Amino acid sequence: MKVAIFEGKEQIVIKDGVKPEIKSDEVLIQVKKVAICGSDVGSYESGGPYLPGKIIGHEFSGILVEIGEDVKKLKEGMKVTVNPQIPCYECYYCLHDQENMCKLQNFAYGTTENGAMREFINVKAERIHVLPDNVTYEEGATVEPLSVAVYAVQQSGFQLGQNAAVIGAGPIGLMIIQVLRSAGANKIYVLEPVESKQKIAMDLGADKAFLPKAWNKIVRLTDRLGPDHVYDCVGLSSTFTTALQLIKKGGNITLIGLHASTIEVNNILLMTTNNISVRGVYGYNQDIYKTAINLYAQKKIRVDPMITNRIRLEQVPEIFKVLGNPPHDELKVIVDFE
């Protein structure tokens, strides 16, 4: 079978691989769909933190085809997705249901362990989440980024009826828009430089979308106060500066975007003088994963408008060349193994 391997900065290659054997506490999944994540692209652009020589792919779904002898409750034929994080289960954070802050924080399938860009993958059974019948394989492959969005909104302290602005209408931003809408947001505004992504943001629940330089239009639309919440899904100096200028006094900025470059902060005095709360969020836990699956099962989240390309494994190196050179019109790219 063929596999897609990260070999360093701007190096994704297709090689021959072997079908893995499972341990007694593992299951074997026949992969159906793999979604390319922004962190995959970030490592491609910068050379890390992914480990060279590892098979990429941490957003995926498939069907169980083999069950380890010590595994209970799971059966062959089940449609599943996987929480790719690999926690230690021993540190303070793991013992307090905060495995996203585990001391082994970056350990995961597709980053430090071989991922899913191959026909079969072996994973620890306890990382499996069974998908309801009405959740598709493409939805299952995007439970991971939806979990990021759910966790971000939960941790931000968002309340019913508040206004929000989302900076960046990439996959995470588009999912945050939908989570906010399902949580009862009053108005949702978006700052995004690519016109096609602005249109998709509007289709998925945003009230207005503007170019980033037009952030002051959002202030005017909120009685010159600014929104209660700003979600920065980009992670650049410019976007954080915009968030500080845009947010309502006493408001909350949530930082989700991960970017390889160093961030320099302008107008940082505004954090103090305007009583602004800034919070970073990273990852999710098992309960958040279940919530994300339930949102798909309840048809509160639409992923199909976000999928801009469906490709085969052999096309993966070429699509990374596109994704690694923004701006572009691509959003969620699905690698199809069916």
Domain assignments of the chain as residue spans, ordered by start: 2-142+303-336, 150-280
The pLDDT of residue 317 is 98
The pLDDT assigned to 260 comes to 53
Give dist(CA 115, CA 59) in Å, integer: 9
What mean pLDDT is predicted for residues 164-184?
A: 98
Two domains, one topology: 2-142+303-336 and 150-280: no
Provide the pLDDT for residue 105. Answer: 74
The CATH code of the domain at 2-142+303-336 is 3.90.180.10
CB 14 within 8 A of CB 314: yes
R_g of the chain, CA atoms, integer Å:
20
235 versus 267: the higher-pLDDT residue is 235
Both structure tokens of 71: 């595994």
What pLDDT sits at residue 263? 78
pTM: 0.96
Question: What confidence tier does 218 reach under pLDDT thresholds 50, 70, 90?
Answer: very high
pLDDT of residue 261: 65
More confident residue, 259 or 109: 109
What would the 3-class secondary structure string for 83-142 be?
CCECCCCCCCCHHHCCHHHCCCCCCEECCCECCCCCCEEEEEHHHEEECCCCCCHHHHHC
Residue 279 has pLDDT above 80, yes or no: yes
Question: Which residue in 337, 290, 282 sits closest to 30, CA to CA?
Answer: 337
Mean pLDDT for the chain overall: 96
In sequence order, what are the residues at sequence separation of 6 or more whose Cβ sits closer than 8 angstroms to the Cβ of residue 92?
A: none
* Tokens coding 296: 């798909």
Core vs surface per residue 210-246: b (16+ CB within 10 A) or e: bebeebeebbebbeeebbbbbbbbbbbeebbbbbbbb
Pick the CATH number of 150-280 from 3.40.50.720, 3.40.640.10, 3.30.70.20, 1.20.1630.10: 3.40.50.720
User: What 3-state DSSP class applies to 43?
Assistant: helix
